[in-house]
Amino acid sequence: MSTTIVNFQKFYVTKEGLVKVQKEWERLREFKHRKTMGETPSLLHSEEANPEYLSFQEDMTLLEARLVEYENILSNIELIRPPGKEGRDMVHLGAMVTLDMEGTIEEFMIVGTIEADPMQKKISNESPIGKALLGARVGDTVVPNTSMVSHRCKVLKISYHEK
Amino acid sequence: MAYARRFLVDQRELSKQERGVLQKLIAAAELVAPLYEKQKNQEYPGANFYPFNATKQEIEKAAKKNPDILSPYTFVERKGKKLVAVPYSKKFNKELTQIAKILKEAAALSTDKKLKAYLAARARDLLQDNFDKSNTLWLETGQSKIGCVIGPFDRYHDKLFFQKRLYTSYVGILDKKRTEEIDKFRQAILVGEKRHLPGAKQAKIPRMKVRVGHTAILSGFAADFLFVSDNLPSSADLYLIKKKGTISTIFYPLLQWRFSTWIWPIYNVIFSSDLQRRFSQEDIEDAFLRISAFSEITRSVMRYDDAAPRLQELFPYFDEIYADVLTIKAASLLYLKGTLTEKELQAILVAEICQGFYYLGCLDKWPHLQTNAVGYALLLDFLLRGNALEKQEGRFTFNFQKAFIAVDELSNVLEYYLSIGSRKDAEEFLGKFKAKEVLEKFAPQLNEILLHQQKQTNSV
């Protein structure tokens, strides 16, 4: 029997991210439904365990684990909202930040771990840069706290999407 | 054949017709090896591009009257008292006509429209000593199942002017899964805009792609230098890269060969047991693929318009290692953004050190890799002097934090020479740097690596 460890941490997502998580959960649920509606392979093949049944069980276990994972996310989700006027000069979750990273100018959004995708310029709040930036203001220079790499990042611009 | 290397490739995903195309391209690639051999062989008239008794000044003087003397695609020969330029297409007309014929047959057989157009254009260009049209069409074939590069592109053997091109060829099948994996890193590395030193003439590259390929054959330059990757258009055609971009191809079977024959054994010989326990073979192998891909990606974005003409034959000494230094820097940014874990970043540094020992270790065997060896000697020297590498009972331990500081320092030095430094400054810098002294510092480890190589060769 497999055990799925469920934790109760908060999952921060944007509205867009929430829609994606819900869609994925529905897709997995629908997939499970279709799988179990079909013909289930029988347990025994001659006198030995049917390999098709074992493979089916393995797939189902993985699917169940993914569903539990998504249900856990959905029940602990916290929507990222732009801060009020007075907090907009500071980096919070959901902020678009432009940085001078020792000569390289980069722009990205700070998001929760499940939405993080540096290829799409979305950086996790738990990454070394994400952690260091939370609470920073325009003009601040932050240095991510890592034991290996020391990199100075100067905040050039902070903005928030309204939707 | 010394300058052609074949690899077994899984062709099950190719249709019968695609297999036919592949076979023809392999046959064409094999014909490139003798051309490269003639370019390299001292006994062949015109080898090494210039008459053996011509001085640099004499060639420069002749080039003022006849610019073809310094064309990338000519041999310079002495006719009486004059130096004359003989185009590659004339010198190798018979061989190139045969190669072009096979390429046309492969194009006729192919149903991949982009590959077809590229092969047909390449067949024409081989006999015209101008590759812009076919190189532009090559850039359209990024997703084609079969990849084929054939022609004269790299400049490493022109020790006088770093101009003349060497015949090369590689043919392989696209590894879609690995290509997609590397593509994610490519997108993450290529974000952001770098500021440059005042006066630097940075070349903006519109696009670059990476293809991981199951290489079926390497021929000519590619088979001799055994680099695990190559890009086309090459840096020699910067004007074209600036207009159209470039594609880097990673030779996956060669990468696996270098990893199992050199990199992994080196890792087990040079590092302390503590460090060895930290990484599995898979960790280092993944890191080795990453550094091979990252160096191609970073190389494509850090180009300066005037670097090669300004530094001439000294250019590759700076350029090669700069790509590896930028690889480490790019990896450290990916770590800060959460794309790589701390362990993956450490493995990348370790793989770079092993690669350095590879170039130093095989220098006696393959002296033509000297530019890479000198570059890595610089990196290892910076790491030693920065106390990032420390010897303990004959093996090295590693201080990762100090290593990144040392890499930053070296990066600044290299950036200076590549972006604005004069040739004279660069010569002086390289003159002061005693690569041999660095080699001596690593002599016990290098001897152990070579002994290991010897044992492996004997046991085959």
- Pick from A131, A124, A88, A87: which is nearest to A109 by CA? A124
Could you tell me how many CB contacts below 8 A there are between chain A and chain B? Answer: 72
> How does DSSP classify residue B44?
S
- Residue in chain B nearest A99 by alpha carbon: B192
User: Is residue B115 in some structural domain?
Assistant: no
Q: Tell me, yes or no, if B192 comes closer than 8 A to chain A by beta carbon.
A: yes
Same domain (yes/no): A103, A67:
no
Please give the pLDDT value at position B141.
95
- Residue in chain B nearest A127 by alpha carbon: B338
User: Is residue B362 in some structural domain?
Assistant: yes
Most confident region among A85-89, A122-126, B36-40 by mean pLDDT: A122-126
User: Is residue A55 in some structural domain?
Assistant: yes
Q: Tell me, yes or no, if A123 comes closer than 8 A to chain B by beta carbon.
A: yes
User: Is residue A142 in some structural domain?
Assistant: yes
Q: Which residues contact B253 (CB under 8 A, 6 or more apart)?
A: B7, B8, B9, B214, B215
Percent of all residues in chain B with a pLDDT value above 90, rounded to a whole number: 71
CA distance A39 to chain B (A): 32
pLDDT digits 0-9 by tens, A102-150? 888 999 999 999 999 888 889 999 999 999 999 999 999 999 989 888 8
Angle between helices B113-126 and B93-109 (to 10 degrees): 170
Contact A116 B336 (CB under 8 A): no
User: Is residue B330 in some structural domain?
Assistant: yes
User: Is residue B397 in some structural domain?
Assistant: yes
Residue type (1 letter), A85: K
- Pick from A139, A153, A158: which is nearest to A105 by CA? A153
Alpha-carbon distance B232 to B98, whole Å? 23
Query: Considering CB atoms only, which of B195, B332, B339 is closest to A149?
Result: B332
Instruction: Output the pTM of the full model.
Output: 0.85
Q: How many CB atoms lie within 10 A of CB B144?
A: 19
Alpha-carbon distance B179 to B210, whole Å? 7
Least confident of A151-155, B390-394, B399-403: B390-394
Structure tokens at A51: 């390999």
Per-chain mean pLDDT for chain A: 84
Q: Which H helix or E strand runs over B251?
A: strand B246-251
Least confident of A49-58, B206-215, B216-225, B292-301: A49-58
User: Is residue A5 in some structural domain?
Assistant: no
Q: Which H helix or E strand runs over A52?
A: helix A51-75
User: Is residue A2 in some structural domain?
Assistant: no
- Judged against a pLDDT cut of 90, whether residue B85 lies above it is answered with yes
Is the sign of the CA dihedral A46, A47, A53, A54 positive or negative?
negative
Helices then strands (H, E): number in chain A?
3, 9
Number of domains in chain B: 1
User: Is residue A112 in some structural domain?
Assistant: yes
Contact predicate A118/A15, CB 8 Å: no
Same domain (yes/no): A72, A101:
no
pLDDT grade, residue B42 (50/70/90)?
Answer: low
Q: Is A112 exposed, middle or buried (0-12, 13-18, 19+ CB in 10 A)?
A: buried
| Higher-pLDDT residue of B352, B56 | B352
Strands B208-220 and B4-6 come out as: antiparallel
Alpha-carbon distance B347 to B335, whole Å? 12
Tell me the residue range of the domain where A128 lies: 85-160
Same domain (yes/no): A59, A100:
no
Same domain (yes/no): A71, A116:
no
- Total count of residues recorded for chain A: 163
User: Is residue A154 in some structural domain?
Assistant: yes
Query: Considering CB atoms only, which of B188, B193, B339 is closest to A104?
Result: B193
Same domain (yes/no): A102, A150:
yes
Same domain (yes/no): A92, A155:
yes
Please give the pLDDT value at position B46.
55
ipTM of the complex: 0.77
Interface test with A, best of B191, B193, B402 (most A CBs within 10 A): B191
Matching residue, tokens 């499970």:
A32
Q: Which H helix or E strand runs over A96?
A: strand A95-101
Residues of A in contact with B333 (CB under 8 A): 101, 104, 151
User: Is residue B317 in some structural domain?
Assistant: yes
Q: How many CB atoms lie within 10 A of CB B432?
A: 7
Domain boundary among A26, A59, A79: A79
pLDDT digits 0-9 by tens, B259-273? 999 999 999 999 999
Contact B332 A101 (CB under 8 A): no
Contact A116 B338 (CB under 8 A): yes
Residue B348 CB-half CA count within 13 A: 29
Same domain (yes/no): A89, A53:
no
pLDDT digits 0-9 by tens, A11-41? 888 888 889 889 988 998 888 888 777 666 6
Same domain (yes/no): A93, A154:
yes
User: Is residue B340 in some structural domain?
Assistant: yes
Average pLDDT over residues A54-66: 81
User: Is residue B383 in some structural domain?
Assistant: yes
pLDDT grade, residue A42 (50/70/90)?
Answer: low
Same domain (yes/no): A17, A74:
yes
User: Is residue A34 in some structural domain?
Assistant: yes
Residues of A in contact with B195 (CB under 8 A): 103-105
User: Is residue A46 in some structural domain?
Assistant: yes
Number of domains in chain A: 2
CATH assignment of the domain containing A98 = 3.10.50.30
Tell me the residue range of the domain where B433 lies: 271-460
CATH assignment of the domain containing A35 = 1.10.287.180
Please give the pLDDT value at position A5.
54
Same domain (yes/no): A16, A32:
yes
